[in-house]
């Protein structure tokens, strides 16, 4: 489990790492370098608020000891030895504010010693990441299309019980395929529908309820209000095209109107889509 090590390298990535785990993690490492130099580090990290926030503690030391002292008058050594070391302890807090922005803060106490001279200091590291998500490959596997009966069941569930009813109905629907995105575990799709367009083109819409951890659901985090994953693709007759992906969307509306919240504001653009048949 590598997540705790991010507290040392980049505070903001501690939050990003916990998108993939649902429990605390610990890590201890030690390395020997040239000139008998040693580096040791240990850390522990805890995700909370459904994994959108994380907190970590770390302690480490770097240096060497028992090095002989040489002077101009005594080039073969004085018989004395000296040591050099740096010891630090710190705490990190990090948060994913959205799928496009994460930030973290680390506060550290540092103690340095060089021979008989020593000093201490307090340091603060801050890091953030913003902008569009990085590129990668999204794989959408459609094993079958949703039946008319399944579509009617989902529509009825939404009209009668709203988004929660729709989510429950999707969970009960037999899988139609699977989606895998960069940095995330793949999960089943429960809805897939295609609409023929002119010149052999087609519009494909797939969706599912987004898997959420027990902590995310039980604590009622902001992310739990966006429980659906939606993918829209437009392909030409050759099976090539573009589309949009929203990993976390909220579906609202009533019996006559359906609205996808957050879909237009924060979609992931899909380019160079190619359809393959197995």
pLDDT tens across 112-140, in order?
988 889 999 998 888 776 555 556 788 88
Q: In the predicted model, is pLDDT for residue 1 greater than 50?
A: no
- Average pLDDT over every residue of 198-204: 90
Q: In the predicted model, is pLDDT for residue 20 greater than 50?
A: no
More confident residue, 252 or 67: 67
C-alpha–C-alpha distance, residues 49 and 200, integer Å? 47
Using a 10 angstrom Cβ sphere, with 0-12 exposed, 13-18 middle and 19 or more buried, the burial of residue 36 is: exposed
Q: Report residue 2's pLDDT band, with 50, 70 and 90 as the boundaries.
A: very low
Place of tokens 């599912």: 208
- Average pLDDT over every residue of 95-119: 82
C-alpha–C-alpha distance, residues 225 and 246, integer Å? 14
Neighbouring-strand partners of residue 112: 86, 119
C-alpha–C-alpha distance, residues 269 and 245, integer Å? 6
- Confidence at residue 176, expressed as pLDDT on a 0 to 100 scale: 92
* Token reading at 66: 């028992």
- Average pLDDT over every residue of 96-104: 69
**Region of residue 68 (left: phi > 0; alpha: psi -120 to 50; beta: else):** beta
Residues 209-256: pLDDT tens digits? 876 655 555 555 445 566 788 888 999 999 899 988 877 676 665 544
Percent of the chain with pLDDT over 70: 72
Using a 10 angstrom Cβ sphere, with 0-12 exposed, 13-18 middle and 19 or more buried, the burial of residue 64 is: middle
Is 203:194 a contact under the CB 8 Å cutoff? yes
Contacts 24+ apart (CB under 8 A), 154-160: 154/191, 158/251, 158/253, 158/258, 159/254, 159/255
Question: Alpha carbon of 157 to those of 151, 153, 160, 165, 215: distances in Å?
Answer: 10, 6, 5, 5, 26
- Confidence at residue 254, expressed as pLDDT on a 0 to 100 scale: 52
Q: In the predicted model, is pLDDT for residue 10 greater than 60?
A: no
Strand extents, DSSP E, the chain: 25-32, 38-48, 53-68, 81-98, 101-114, 117-130, 139-142, 177-180, 187-189, 191-196, 202-209, 228-235, 240-253, 258-261, 268-274
More confident residue, 217 or 181: 181
pTM of the model: 0.49
More confident residue, 95 or 241: 241
Question: Alpha carbon of 254 to those of 159, 160, 161, 163: distances in Å?
Answer: 6, 9, 10, 10
Q: In the predicted model, is pLDDT for residue 149 greater than 50?
A: yes
- Please give the mean pLDDT across all residues of the chain: 77
């Amino acid at each position: 489990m590598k997540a705790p090590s991010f507290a040392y390298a980049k505070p903001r990535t501690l939050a990003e790492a916990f998108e993939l785990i649902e429990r605390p993690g610990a890590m201890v490492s030690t390395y020997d370098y040239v000139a008998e130099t040693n580096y040791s580090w240990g850390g522990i990290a805890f995700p909370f608020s459904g994994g959108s926030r994380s907190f970590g503690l770390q302690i480490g030391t770097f240096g060497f000891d028992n090095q002989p002292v040489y002077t101009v008058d005594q080039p073969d050594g004085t018989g004395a030895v000296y040591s050099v070391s740096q010891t630090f302890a710190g705490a990190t807090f990090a948060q994913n504010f959205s799928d496009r922005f994460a930030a973290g803060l680390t506060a550290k106490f540092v103690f340095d010693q060089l021979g008989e001279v020593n000093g201490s200091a307090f340091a603060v590291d801050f890091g953030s990441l913003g902008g569009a998500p990085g590129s990668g490959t999204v794989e959408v596997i459609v094993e079958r299309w949703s039946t008319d009966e399944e579509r009617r069941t989902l529509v009825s569930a939404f009209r009668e019980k709203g988004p929660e009813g729709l989510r429950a109905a999707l969970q009960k629907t037999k899988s139609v395929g699977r989606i895998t995105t960069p940095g995330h575990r793949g999960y089943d799709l429960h809805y897939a529908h295609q609409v023929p367009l002119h010149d052999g083109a087609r519009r494909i819409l797939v969706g599912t309820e987004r898997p959420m951890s027990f902590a995310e659901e039980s604590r009622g985090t902001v992310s739990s209000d966006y429980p659906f994953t939606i993918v829209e693709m437009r392909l030409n007759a050759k099976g090539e095209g573009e589309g949009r992906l929203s990993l976390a969307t909220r579906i609202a509306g009533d019996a006559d109107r359906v609205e996808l919240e957050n879909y237009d504001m924060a979609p992931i653009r899909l380019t160079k889509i190619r359809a393959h048949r197995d």
